Structure 1
């Protein structure tokens, strides 16, 4: 597709290979707009029969690339991507996040061309798994909702609404099947359990609300803990004391196949270069740590440029992945070492950010760019060094846990 002539600077997290497209997972642009496009969802067969997916339509591998450089607000992001989906179609169903310092929006594509978006209220949160999440659309409220201009006619003409009244996007376009019950809904349940611990809900309820107000104000710490969670303090924790059936019953939030996890944080500073932070955890989130990268950087550390399909000892991904693999073999013995490293680094990263924020308030232009780049690089190097040290300890201690160990006279 033709792209606008002028593009804003932006930072993004691409896939390790461009074999399937650039696949920029998330990013923050020079206007301070954040975007994340990693949420694959599923549409039901009734909808897809009426509006099939478009083989050469846009997919998540290109959404950030063709949207983020050309928008100056979260609302503008929804409008631009919505127009692209309406015109060119999409090859898959997706959930996409947009945010700026004033608003946060969640957008869902529900078929080949039709989409909706809802503004997340300032005092609320949403937990979304790999399924349609948005519920009732208020077509009289364009401040908090956006939609394909022809979506009402499309649904009515094709008799897609299962309800007599209202327009519940999740029920019209989404799925309610066995996969949702074990793969998606339990993760939403656990997130809402974390943020609203006194609410009673069934683990696989399909009626859990999209928009919620947490019992307490949420922080960066809450986001970190949830993205690294695996049903802790429930019988469904794969590392817990439940039955073998329960421990393998539901798909956890943090999964062994995870390549990266990110948090996009927008703080109330005037300059987007310093207000925006990418917190990036490489590998399995539960076994990794979120490293801060400022939106205004001009380069990334060499270890973050090494993408390989097989183990590469200098690659940031494989440094974190290696430590996790070693912990996996002896979780009860090595878990405390891992948690100690994570806690120490998280505290050090938070301190580094506070100091960098303070130093950066008096800088601008190249001086600010250099500061943010250098401090982001320093944070990355701190994390890599700590995890290499952890790996050395794990390998050393693992020797004593070998099934070929034998207690004998040390002199023999």
Structure 2
């Protein structure tokens, strides 16, 4: 009997496979195609000859963990303890999985806000929990009254994703005020804040749970070096949580992967001494603005993009097809791969919206846009 009988192959896998088969430009899966910073690759080259090839301590490479405390302090003015409140993980996905497995039990309910990243629900199901999926408003803002109405004594966790994949929406101060009031009413609820795109924001800057004293003592924050430094294939992220939660998360982590790739940890530890995370948003804003300008003459309607490296567009003026079929035809007939937004909803809500990844070099964006403008 399948533990995930209602879960099929990820839409990211499906679309990337089709893109390869049809030699299409892959703007579907969220990975950059431009070179990694040479400063980082030079560090890796030097480290390969050093003694960094054996197991690190279970929670992470100590120098890297110390650098994470510095990074969080610099970015959010929060002081955390490296030994008790940090866990280095095999990508953010493993951090989310370990956290849900550790903190959600049989019969516990977990609120997930749709459209949502596709790993959340399977993680809850594998913990014998019950996903409670609530759709965001049509402008992708949360309806806190509906969310509060869904909370009960059974609610163990609320998962938020900020900046939000797939929509690029960012939570506001008023959202956090509502969230603080909600959790005050339900003191047993744990917040899991997926912030993997925290450094990829534009006009409106990212607000992290790290900056919210009323929330952070009951929050698990998920971050990703893969997203921040466009090294997604390294699969390296980190979790920050108060000690009473982290103790439980580490119990799962030690039997899942035990420790994360040692060379990657050592390299990122050194890289953090010379890289400026404050500039990452500016880099991707140029990508966003370039792609939006290139699509300006197309028949697609561009939705706002406040963060992440994803652009959501409406194809309502082009076709009445459902978004999955439209994306498949986009690959086979026009040579561009995208992700249908309906697959991020529990009920597969079809709003004629698709998602493009603009974390690509300019030549790729220009050719993709040329093809899209011909539709």
Calculate the TM-score normalised by the size of structure 2. 0.32
Structure having greater relative contact order (Cα 8 Å, sep ≥ 6): 2
**Which structure would you say has the larger Rg?**
1
